[in-house]
A = this chain, B = another copy of it.
């Protein structure tokens, strides 16, 4: 099984063999987290940095009045809280959407890696900057696009990111999300999400089979959503060699 983290980082910049080994070493200690559990919570100062190796999770924040905003989907290879190595305190929650296998890297290990391995440091920085670029694009999404385009844009992004780690087949990928969560992501009510999904389906832009999203014509959806993948800063085109497996749904 390929290591999702190594794979992702190598997609950004070449690493030394010793860097690669250090990463694998540091991902040795893995844990399985069941669905719908907090991985870290706001205010935590976790002693380890968590990397998703299998499964999906979300970053989110709960408001006083019970509303919730999701601001990122975490897929295999993504860091949950690299922040904490620098900022000490989490300013949002991270929740598993399905059973996840994660690696826990000690803060000391992160510090050691960033302080003594410039290439790794650069790769981690790259991750952070891509996360930031994604946030900016989501802001464009919420600020400027209507419900249908917003949702379509999210699907395009997820398709591209999942394709890059081999988690798509043709235009389809598995996404274990409720319409409610989709609403919390898009700043829409669940009802309106439902109607927008129907419109997208009626327009033949996407279709759904259980929790699988199927995009019959990726280019058409991208055009509809005004999606331009350059903000994802992928170095080379999506590589689909050996997929990172998902854990079986519990």
Q: Which A residues are closer than 8 A to B by beta carbons?
A: 59, 61, 63-65, 67-69, 71, 83, 86-87, 89, 91-92, 114-115, 118, 121-122, 125-126, 128-133, 135-136, 138-140, 142-144, 184-187, 226, 230-231, 233
Contact = CB atoms under 8 A, between A and B. Distances in A.
24 contacts: A59-B136, A61-B140, A67-B144, A68-B144, A69-B139, A87-B126, A87-B129, A87-B130, A87-B133, A87-B233, A89-B230, A89-B233, A91-B230, A91-B231, A91-B233, A114-B121, A115-B118, A128-B128, A131-B132, A132-B135, A135-B135, A135-B139, A139-B142, A143-B185
Contact of A86 (B125, B185, B226): B125
Contacts of A92: 136
Contact of A142 (B114, B131, B143): B143
A140 B121 CA distance: 30
Contact of A63 (B118, B226, B231): B226
A179 to B, nearest CB: 16
Contacts of A187: 142-144
